[in-house]
Chains A and B, each alone.
Chain A
């Protein structure tokens, strides 16, 4: 799977994402600078974590207007699979490719720790066989508090668009629980069509023996499976 990882000024998980897809998962992965206007022959697009444009104005608000984002929008419109991790999730929400928004953590702290995720409803392909499973995946963000209006939340539930939830607060070891106050403990979602995915936790930081876990591998494999199932005709 030819994977394009978009590199914005201030991205800092871009190389981790390339490593996860190319090293740990054996795919072809490369960086594309945000000033580019074409994704070339990419079959999967990843918007990585970091602090694009210094998080100025709002997280992801400026990156969504980078030249490459027009191509990313067209790629998604054509059914191409896009994964946004952390800042990438924020960019996708700002760009309107995913519903809702990510605001300041309720605790006001930057939270950098490994949390427990439950694999939730997730459409026909995304982690379907792992529903209910618990994963340990790192988070590192100050603004990961997912917010959506009641109608939007109801639609996410109804359409099985919630990919992962944090453990609810006061349900277990507190360091493993919802780190940011996210509504309905949402850690990751997809769009209704099922080709745009966003999550605050970092699966690309959970692929090696020296990482806190290797639970990112099945997550990224699910993204690859989605891309293999729904990618647009790659005739270029």
Chain B
């Protein structure tokens, strides 16, 4: 608004990685593993499939900001019953 934002990064990009929990069956990963093996890909042990969600936003990476990203990851972007998440932040438009 009227006040200048004091920002460490300015506009940032957050990449959220959502993956099936270790002990959760991943039928898609299993199917991809099967296809890879049948194509002759060697030494494959396991394939797990998840999602990558990219967010562009305006913010300061302080504690409150981090907490708000964690909250939306838990509430909406992942289902804690079956998925883990982690996220990485980088500046954009530099």
Contacts and interface: CB of A to CB of B under 8 A. Distances in A.
A134 B93 CA distance: 62
Interface string B54-94: 00000000000000000000001101011000000000000
Given A57-B77, A104-B28, A147-B82, 9 more contacts: A101-B81, A101-B82, A105-B27, A106-B25, A107-B27, A108-B28, A108-B31, A148-B81, A181-B25
Contacts of A65: 76
Given A108-B31, A147-B81, A147-B82, A103 B24 contact: yes
Interface in B21-56: 24-25, 27-28, 31
Contact of B81 (A57, A100, A106): A100
Q: Considering the complex of A and B, which 3 residue pairs feature the smallest CB-CB distances, nearest first?
A: A101-B81, A101-B82, A104-B27
Interface residues of B, number: 10
Interface of B: 24-25, 27-28, 31, 76-77, 79, 81-82
B76 A57 contact: yes
A100, A101, A106 — most chain B CB neighbours (10 Å): A101
A207 to B, nearest CB: 32
B29 to A, nearest CB: 10
Interface size on A, as a range, is: 20 to 34
A61 B76 contact: yes
A100 B82 CA distance: 8
A57, A93, A100 — most chain B CB neighbours (10 Å): A57
Contacts, number: 36
Interface string A118-159: 000000000000000000000000000101110000000000
A7 B81 CA distance: 26
A106 B79 contact: no
B25, B27, B28, B77 — most chain A CB neighbours (10 Å): B27
B27 A147 contact: no
A34 interface: no
Contacts of A116: none
A100 B81 CA distance: 6
B24, B28, B31, B79 — most chain A CB neighbours (10 Å): B79
A62 B77 CA distance: 10
Contacts of A149: 81
B79 A58 contact: yes
Nearest to A183: B25
A103 B82 contact: yes
B28, B76, B81 — most chain A CB neighbours (10 Å): B81
